[in-house]
């Protein structure tokens, strides 16, 4: 009996081991694993009909004039005249000179950047003879009709580097610019304030009609323009992505003047060349109210006989020269002026020449 029990135990152990061995040799198949599917994300195409800041283009049209205050070495001055007109169906601009070393060319247009359509602001020109141009994009807008606010921030670093506020209230325009002074400050601080009133909205109408301005079409694709750059500010104009000579429609006027017999200027004095869209004289009568139609002007040394007004809006103009005899920067008694309503017409991307003679002493 003892032997039988031993044999049964041995048999049971052998059978168990065998079953275990069989199970290890033929494992059960693993359950199937569902494949991981990564969904394809299609980028949303930008819609130019929702261009951010678009309404500013229409609001800028016209001749504006007002005082400037600034923290720059130029300081402030009582008048800055800006003639904003369309230069294409999606762009409006104005070029202005103070003198031969200081000028500014402002331009607003529709751009594509970071898969968004926005109004861009190009601010370029000369400061003390040194060139620079900056690019901004609309990043804050509030348009309430009669009053509106637009902020344009430097494209790469944003408003901590530089930004410009464009504010409309009824017939007033305020442009306030801020900068961190060549990256020497952690935030941008006030740079310049221009407080202007609308002078004329008729001079721009031919260009408005010509382009059916404004339209929601693309002017510049900036999608890759600023890749790898530290900021969208240029001090070498050879690398400017939208240089002045690429601006459409604008022309050049070569303006000259002379002095009549008996008028001998002092070299230390200044002369001012003035271009208007309406005449300043009716016979011998000075039409002071028409000073609101001034479009371009420049202050020269009294013995500088000519000046080229470049990037100028096409149109018909009146041209005058004025000698500031007393140096008070305003036409007053004793100053000399040209009294002829010299007219000229500048065509699209054309060149015009005009000349006048200083021949009258203001009584």
Domain count, the chain: 2
Range of the domain at 291: 251-361
Per-residue pLDDT tens over the stretch 247-272? 999 999 999 999 999 999 999 999 99
For residue 23, give the 3-state DSSP assignment: helix
**Are residue 56 and residue 156 in the same domain, yes or no?**
yes
DSSP 297-311: EEEEETT--EEEEEE
On whether both 332 and 290 belong to a single domain, the answer is: yes
pLDDT value at position 44? Answer: 83
**CATH label of the domain that carries residue 270:** 2.60.40
Residue 280 near residue 292 (C-beta atoms within 8 A): no
Q: Are residues 239 and 265 in the same domain?
A: no
Same domain, 198 and 272: no
Q: Is residue 266 part of a domain?
A: yes
**Residue 40: its pLDDT value, please?**
60
Which of 219, 244, 269 delimits the end of a domain? 244
Q: Is the pLDDT of residue 224 over 70?
A: yes
Q: Residue 126: inside a domain, yes or no?
A: yes
User: Do residue 207 and residue 329 come from a single domain?
Assistant: no
What are the pLDDT digits (tens) for 196-211?
Answer: 999 999 999 999 999 9
Do 69 and 126 sit in the same domain of this protein? yes
- Report how far residue 341's alpha carbon sits from residue 338's, in angstroms, rounded to the nearest whole number: 8
Give the CATH number for residue 220: 2.40.128.20
Q: pTM surpassing 0.85?
A: yes
75 with 179, same domain? yes
- Domain endpoint, select from 200, 218, 244: 244
For the segment 7-26, what is each residue's pLDDT rounded down to a tens digit? 333 434 333 444 444 444 45
- pLDDT tens-digit series, residues 130-177: 999 999 999 999 999 889 999 999 999 999 999 999 999 999 999 999
pLDDT of residue 43: 67
Q: How many CB atoms are closer than 10 A to CB 15? A: 10
């Amino acid at each position: 009996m003892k032997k039988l029990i031993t044999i049964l135990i041995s048999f049971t152990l052998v059978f168990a081991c065998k079953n275990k061995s069989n199970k290890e040799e033929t494992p059960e198949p693993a359950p199937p694993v569902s494949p991981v599917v990564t969904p394809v994300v299609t980028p949303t195409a930008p819609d130019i009909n929702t261009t951010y800041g678009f309404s500013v283009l229409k609001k800028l049209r016209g001749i504006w004039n007002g005082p400037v205050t600034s923290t720059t070495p130029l300081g402030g001055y009582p008048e800055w005249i800006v003639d904003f007109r369309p230069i294409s169906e999606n762009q409006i601009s104005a070029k202005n000179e103070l003198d031969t070393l200081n000028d500014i060319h402002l331009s607003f247009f529709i751009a594509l950047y970071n898969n968004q359509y926005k109004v861009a602001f190009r601010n370029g020109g000369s400061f003390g003879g040194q060139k620079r141009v900056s690019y901004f994009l609309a990043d804050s807008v509030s348009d309430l009709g009669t009053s509106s606010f637009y902020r344009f921030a430097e494209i790469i670093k944003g408003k901590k580097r530089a930004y410009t506020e464009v504010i409309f209230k009824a017939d007033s325009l305020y442009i306030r610019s801020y900068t961190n002074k060549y990256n020497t400050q952690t935030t941008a601080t006030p740079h310049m304030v221009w407080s202007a009133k609308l002078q004329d909205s008729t001079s721009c109408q031919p260009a408005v009609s010509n382009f059916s301005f404004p339209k929601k079409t693309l002017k510049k694709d900036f999608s890759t323009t600023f890749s790898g750059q530290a900021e969208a500010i240029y001090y070498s104009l050879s690398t400017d992505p939208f240089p002045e000579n690429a601006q459409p429609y604008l022309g050049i006027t070569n303006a000259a003047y002379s002095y009549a017999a008996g008028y001998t200027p002092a070299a230390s004095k200044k002369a001012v060349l003035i271009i208007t869209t309406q005449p300043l004289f009716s016979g011998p009568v000075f039409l002071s109210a028409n000073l609101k139609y001034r479009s371009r002007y420049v202050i020269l040394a009294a013995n500088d006989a000519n000046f080229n007004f470049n990037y100028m809006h096409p149109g018909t103009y009146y041209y005058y020269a004025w000698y500031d005899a007393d140096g008070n920067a305003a036409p007053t008694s004793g100053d000399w002026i040209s009294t002829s309503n010299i007219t000229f017409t500048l065509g699209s991307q054309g060149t015009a020449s005009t000349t006048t003679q200083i021949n009258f002493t203001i009584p």
